Amino acid sequence: MKNPNPPPPKPPAAMAPRKSLWGPPPAAGEKGASTSARTTTPTSSSDSRRHPGRPAPGPIARNTASPAAAFRPPQPQLPVETPPPPPYGFHNLDRRTMRFADGTVRTYFALPPDYPFEPIPLPPLPHLSRAGPDVWPPPQLAPHEAKRKHLSDSDEGLHRHPKQPRFEAPHHPPQLPPHAAVDRHELRKAFLKYAKMLNESVAQRRSYLEGGRVPCLACGRSCKDFADVHGLVMHAYNPPNTDSSVDHLGLHKALCVLMGWDYTKVPENSKAYQSLLPDLVQASREDLIIWPPTVIIHNTATGRKKDGRCEGLGNKEMDKKISELGFAGGKSKSLYGKEGHLGLTLIKFANSPNGLKEAERFAEFLERQDHGRIGWSHAQASQSIDSDNNPLLVEMDNRTGEKRRVLYGYLAISSDLDELDSDSRKRASLKSRKELDQSD
């Protein structure tokens, strides 16, 4: 029998929207939600741009309760720095082509030639102090410090250990180098002594300048000759005993001045001390003057006699010419040889600071007229012309209309010792302008 009061019919359920295969999973509580993880379906590279995948999982947390975690070093977290933007991009490049010999063409990209690069500032140069006579001899920590170091020695903080252990002797206090106990006055006298010995003879000076085996003037015959001047300088700077240290150090400076080397640097095998500016070389050579102050006058020959001997200006005539020029205190000495007058006259001034000033004033007067050392070298180069008609050697006197010789002169230095006569060379000595003792 049918129920007379049937239950009301249920309303039709709303149709659920169709779920996309690629859509997100339904929320919790919705129909169709699952507590299990959804399996990720692999996507193609084209779909990955529209639907990016899950982010990469973070670092796995370490189990602090594990006994092995106590021995694992902590992993430092490096700070993430944003790189600076590039100074230029692809849009700044120019397309260029290159044609090869076989006819092929290649294309490449390069920056334009007028691209504004920012110059990088250079580090400042170290201050170089000019070396002087006060820093000679150079400071030395210990004897034979200039030798090359072994590979096992420490250098500039880089410690290199030898392959085998080294058993060192008991430590003794370091001995002072022989340079520290040298008398400065005696050292200066030794330097001037050997500077004169090296320049007295042209042949001896040439043997040192041109290279070859050279002897040690400080040792004499008790020492063998050295293969070159560098070996002799190393020997002179490191004397064999303290008794001869003054002579050897004086020879060391004299050799460096003669060769044009820097005597304020420690000589070593790298030969860095042999580099010196030309101005400093000339200054160190011109600092050694002949004493008493002497001015060498050239071109004082006037002609030849009937017997073929040369004649020239005598002492009285030269004294008269010098006094007419306004210089006093100098005494002339004309030099003669086997063929007569040599065309060379020495003007010696007083053995005092005032005599040196007068000699320097006379030499500067000739230099201003281009009749100094350089002017004489130019006149010597033109001696192939007849000397009586050479305008560099002979000039016309405006008052008398007679021809007279053009005088050339300069202050005598150590390299001019060979131009003096034997008697003047024997009596002369050398002095340094910078270290000139006013009491002498």
pLDDT tens for 3-17 read 556 666 555 554 555
Q: Which residue has the higher pLDDT, 150 or 410?
A: 410
pLDDT tens for 107-121 read 888 877 777 666 556
Q: Alpha carbon 117 to chain centroid distance?
A: 31
pLDDT tens for 360-382 read 999 999 999 999 999 999 888 87
Looking at the chain, how many residues does it have? 440
Q: Are 218 and 236 in contact (CB under 8 A)?
A: yes
CB-CB neighbours of 365 under 10 Å = 15
Place of tokens 């170091």: 149
Q: Which residue has the higher pLDDT, 284 or 69?
A: 284
Q: How far is it, in rounded angstroms, from Cα 153 to Cα 146? A: 14
Q: How far is it, in rounded angstroms, from Cα 405 to Cα 387? A: 10
- Helix, strand or coil, per DSSP, at residue 135: helix
Helices (H), 2-149: 45-50
Most confident of 45-59, 174-188, 213-227: 213-227
Phi and psi at residue 262, to the nearest 5°: -90, 110
Q: How far is it, in rounded angstroms, from Cα 339 to Cα 113? A: 74
CB-CB neighbours of 183 under 10 Å = 10
Q: How far is it, in rounded angstroms, from Cα 311 to Cα 300? A: 9
% of the chain surpassing 90 pLDDT: 37
pTM (predicted TM-score): 0.60
